[in-house]
Amino acid sequence: MFSFLSYNAQSVLFSTFLLGMAAGVIGSFAYWKRQSLMSDALSHAALPGVVLGFTILGEKNLFVMIIGAAITALLGAFLIQWIRSSSRVKEDAAMGIVLSVFFGLGIMLLTFANRMPGGNQSGLDSFIFGQAASMVSKDVWTMMTVAIIVLLLTVLLFKEWKIFLFDPSFAKGLGISTAGMNVLYMATLVLVIVVGIQAVGVILMAALLIIPSVSARYWTESFKIMVLLSALFGGASGMIGTFLSTIGKGWPTGPFIVVTAASVFLISLFLGSKKGLAVVFFQQKKQRKSMELVKMTREVEQ
Amino acid sequence: MEPVLTVENVSAAYRKNEVLTDVNFQIKPGTLTSIVGPNGAGKSTLLKVMLELHPTITGNVTFFGETYQTAKSRIGYVPQRGSVDWDFPTNALDVVTMGLYGKIGWFKWPKKEHKHKAMSALKEMKMQDYANRQISQLSGGQQQRVFLARALAQDADLYFLDEPLAGVDATTEKAIMETLKMLKESGKTVMVVHHDLQTVEEYFDQVLLLNKKVIAHGPTSKTFTKENIMKAYGGTLHWMGEKR
């Protein structure tokens, strides 16, 4: 597939496919933890870390920037929890505060970093909207490794994830540490976000986490299939979006991924076999018809 | 006989409000005990504290002479029905299979034998016809029976149930009480948070009257007296005066 593309472009496509899969999986966990918005807050909170990682070294080193992103994203997560538990501010407001403050801080740092020697050419801007084309082979490998680890963790711990999401207090009684699962969930979520932001961008990373799982919900009543579909939708969105963005020079990747994911969502919303609008419409029509039939036979009998 | 459960000097709080104060009691094996008390008496909190789902301020809980952590494979818990999201995409058999996750072990997927075991637990609750039904499509009573079947699949020695009869139909109530009596007869111990004072005498051989502390505890016939009930509920329970 895509054999007309260069080896580098092919590997970027494949890595965004894997990243999309990992994001789809973690996104469906976030969906059932009712924390979809949390992923948005975390990806925005990663920006200052990325820029700080660059500023400290003075050059673009993906590993250091990822560490920086992870630190500020986790700090953001911690702040949300802390604001919620120690004040009367509710979680949604806490997320709104952290999201905007960290993002603002990131943009501020970015303006400074861009004035630094070499800052302008560093491609730091690509972290905002994503620029898959700017990825070098080391970035591709990092992204693939993380995505594969996340997918493996999902398969190996599938039943643990399931009970943890459905009934955490019962899980605890079975000897599954909810605190441990929470840490693992948070760690994988942050990991997927920070390796994904170079390709997708901090602003739109959340879309790749949220939209595939919501779309998958329209097709199934099984958790296993929902996770699988969400992974496939995420993977397809990642790959197709990246491909589309390579058509034009300098086109950002994130928006194309989001538009692709949104198309999948629209199709699911209307045609989804479980509660898709079309299915619901025809079911109701059928029901109405049979009701009318019952009414008619009754009238005839009278 | 050795008690299966010993609760000593347990106190617990939500934020700064103390909901349990110096709670002490022991439960003998093979008993069917109801925990009864007014709203906010700390009944559910007591269960959560014993199962380490809520922290204690002081006190000690032991099961079979051991800590919760070592004894937990012998303990089954049926949470309140409202504690989970029934929209979760899964079916009845799958939920019951969750009761076996501890036995299946880490990293492994449930096998056919586990599904069989889960099926026989569903059968015990007369829910076998609903095995493949989406849990969101079950009635409240059916959901409660699925929850109890899941606990049965755990094959525990000591069961805790939080309001299993709240808002369920008569068939479910009957099925649940039959199962609990059967558990008791096979030597298991059952503790139930219960809200319906009218059925306490009929259903349970032991009663624990609770209102932040233990008001009275013992065989229902001796303990479930008008005096003790009034003590637990304060003066708010006028209709009981007519009954007795």
Q: What is the ipTM of this complex?
A: 0.88
Quote the CA–CA distance of A109 and A54 in Å, as a whole number: 10
- Note whether B98 contacts A166, CB cutoff 8 Å: yes
B75, B89, B104 ranked by CB distance to A223: nearest: B89
pLDDT score at B235: 65
A contact residues 126-165, partner B, Cβ 8 Å cutoff: 156-160, 162-163, 165
Average pLDDT of span B53-72: 92
Instruction: Judge whether A241 and A259 are in contact, CB under 8 Å.
Output: yes
Average pLDDT of span B114-133: 94
Question: How many alpha carbons fall within 13 Å on the CB side of residue A282?
Answer: 9
Average pLDDT of span B67-73: 91
Q: What band does A29 get if pLDDT is binned at 50, 70 and 90? A: very high
B contact residues 169-198, partner A, Cβ 8 Å cutoff: none
Residues in chain B within 8 Å Cβ distance of A220: 89
pLDDT score at B167: 87
Chosen for mutation from A33, A34, A160, A170 (greatest number of chain B CBs closer than 10 Å) is A170
CA angle, corner B171, sides to B166 and B175, nearest 5? 85
Residue B230: count of CB within 10 angstroms of its CB: 15
- Sketch the domain layout of chain B as residue ranges: 5-243
Instruction: Judge whether A171 and A163 are in contact, CB under 8 Å.
Output: yes
Chosen for mutation from B50, B52, B53, B91 (greatest number of chain A CBs closer than 10 Å) is B53
Chosen for mutation from B94, B114, B135, B157 (greatest number of chain A CBs closer than 10 Å) is B94
Average pLDDT of span B124-143: 94
Enumerate domains of chain A plus CATH numbers: 7-205 (1.10.3470.10)
* Class of residue A117 by CB neighbours under 10 A (exposed 0-12, middle 13-18, buried 19+): exposed
**pTM for this one?**
0.88
- Note whether A167 contacts B101, CB cutoff 8 Å: no
DSSP 3-state of B14: strand
pLDDT score at A1: 54
- Note whether A162 contacts B104, CB cutoff 8 Å: no
> B20: which strand partners?
B12
DSSP 3-state of B1: coil
Q: What band does A2 get if pLDDT is binned at 50, 70 and 90? A: low
B57 and chain A in contact, CB less than 8 A = no
pLDDT digits (tens, 9 = 90+) for B3-61: 999 999 999 998 788 899 999 999 999 999 999 999 889 999 999 999 999 999 999 99
pLDDT exceeds cutoff 50 at B244: no
Lowest mean pLDDT among A94-98, A227-231, A248-252: A248-252
pLDDT exceeds cutoff 50 at B242: no
- Minimum Cα–Cα distance from A218: chain B residue: B89
Strand duo B32-36 + B17-27: pairing: unpaired
> B35: which strand partners?
B193, B208
pLDDT digits (tens, 9 = 90+) for A62-90: 788 888 988 999 999 899 989 988 888 88
pLDDT digits (tens, 9 = 90+) for A134-181: 788 888 898 999 999 999 999 999 999 999 999 998 998 888 888 999
pLDDT exceeds cutoff 80 at A254: yes
CA proximity to A216, closest of A41, A31, A19: A31
pLDDT exceeds cutoff 80 at A302: no
DSSP 3-state of B229: helix
Average pLDDT of span B76-87: 92
CATH number for the segment(s) B5-243: 3.40.50.300
Helices in chain A by DSSP H: which ranges?
A: 7-32, 36-57, 62-86, 91-115, 126-129, 137-156, 158-166, 168-173, 178-200, 205-217, 223-245, 253-271, 277-301
pLDDT score at B237: 57
Quote the CA–CA distance of A24 and A268 in Å, as a whole number: 15
Helices in B155-193 by DSSP H: which ranges?
A: 170-185
Average pLDDT of span A111-123: 74
B90 and chain A in contact, CB less than 8 A = yes
Residues in chain B within 8 Å Cβ distance of A223: 88-90
CA proximity to A154, closest of A228, A207, A216: A228
Q: Name the average pLDDT for chain B.
A: 91
Q: Which helix (H) or strand (E) holds B117?
A: helix B112-124
Residue found by looking up tokens 């233990």 in the block: B214
Residues in chain A within 8 Å Cβ distance of B63: none
pLDDT score at A119: 63
- DSSP for residue B66: B
pLDDT digits (tens, 9 = 90+) for B194-241: 989 999 999 999 999 999 999 999 999 999 998 899 889 886 655 544
Q: Name the average pLDDT for chain A.
A: 89
Lowest mean pLDDT among A28-32, A108-112, B176-180, B188-192: A108-112
pLDDT score at A49: 93
Residues in chain A within 8 Å Cβ distance of B83: 167, 169
- Minimum Cα–Cα distance from B108: chain A residue: A156
